[in-house]
Structure 1
Amino acid sequence: MDFVSIRIITDQIRPLVEFYETITGLTSKWFTEDFAELATTSCTLAIGSTRTLALFGADVAQPASNRSAIIEFRVDNVDAEYRRLANAVDDFVQVPTTMPWGNRSLLLRDPDGNLVNLFTPVTTEAIKKFDRKGRFFDGERRQ
């Protein structure tokens, strides 16, 4: 099994897509006016408007109501990202801080209130955990 994407449902698709383009530096691919994706090398962030919920046959998601998930992006230098985003992001929750597990993290909120963590592994152990070329599961590289 491969984890390939996470999808955010929103009432304000254009501002949310623009926010994630700003923080990631990526250009989104729009499939319809109600659905866009930002693809990284490891995973895709999909963003859909609430109108897409009708395709599932029910009201299965509520926009701007997440209180448990954090969307995380590994970056080369979290302090540089903080300086770059200082005037572009309205809601910083935590300035760059080194966490006990070895990542230096910047926590912010997107326009819908979802938590977003930009982080850089900084300890030897945290750096070893991540590898740009491979995927890890239980500490072992999988192809």
Structure 2
Amino acid sequence: MNLTSIRIITSNIDVLIKFYEHITGKQMIQYTPDFAELKTDGATLAIGSTRTLQFFGGESVARAAENHTAIIEFRVDDVENDYQRLADYLEPYIVQKPTTMPWGNKSLLFRDPDGNLVNLFTPMTAEAVKKHAEG
């Protein structure tokens, strides 16, 4: 079994598409006005509007902008460079500036416009580099 994608449900699809395109520097593929994907080597970040919930049983299945548990994580080559590139843009969203975590990653933590936590990280210690090279 392989994790293929994470999907964010939002009532602000155009705002989130622009946000994730800006932070990643990659263009999302927008298949319909209500669904887009950002494809990476490891997985896909999908964004669906609240209108897509009708296909899953109705709007009570998920609620936009109410995530309080998951963190969307992107491994980057140099989190400090990304922080410098994005600092002005991310100013209202930053939770924690680049900080080395006990498990060996340097992480930049911020929220997207819907309040979802996003982590850009770079493995720093030999153990963290090895772990991410294997995965």
TM-score (norm 2): 0.96
Q: Deviations over 1:28-86 (max 9, x none)?
A: 00110000000001100000000000111222000000000000000000011111001
**What is the aligned partner in structure 2 of residue 94 from structure 1?**
96
Amino acid at match of 1:40: T
Gap regions ≥5 residues in structure 1 = 137-143
Counterpart Cα distance in 1 of 2:12 and 2:4 = 23
Gap regions ≥5 residues in structure 2 = none
**What is the aligned partner in structure 1 of residue 121 from structure 2?**
119
1:104 alignment partner, SS class: strand
Counterpart Cα distance in 1 of 2:4 and 2:56 = 19
**What is the aligned partner in structure 2 of residue 62 from structure 1?**
63
Moved more, 81-90 or 108-117: 81-90
Structure 1 stretches of 4+ moved >2 Å: none
Amino acid at match of 2:86: L
1:31 alignment partner, SS class: strand
Aligned length: 133
Counterpart Cα distance in 2 of 1:88 and 1:17 = 15
In the alignment, which of 96, 106, 109 is matched to residue 107 of structure 1? 109
Identity %: 62
Counterpart Cα distance in 2 of 1:22 and 1:92 = 15
2:3 alignment partner, SS class: coil
Q: Deviations over 1:108-142 (max 9, x none)?
A: 000000000000000000000012xxx63xxxxxx
Q: After TM superposition, list the pairs within 5 Å mapping 1:4-83 onto structure 2.
A: 4-59=4-59, 60-83=61-84
Moved more, 86-95 or 27-36: 86-95
Counterpart Cα distance in 2 of 1:17 and 1:70 = 17
Q: Point out which structure has higher relative CO (alpha carbons under 8 A, 6+ apart).
A: 2
2:109 alignment partner, SS class: strand
Counterpart Cα distance in 2 of 1:28 and 1:70 = 20
Counterpart Cα distance in 2 of 1:56 and 1:106 = 33
Amino acid at match of 1:13: I
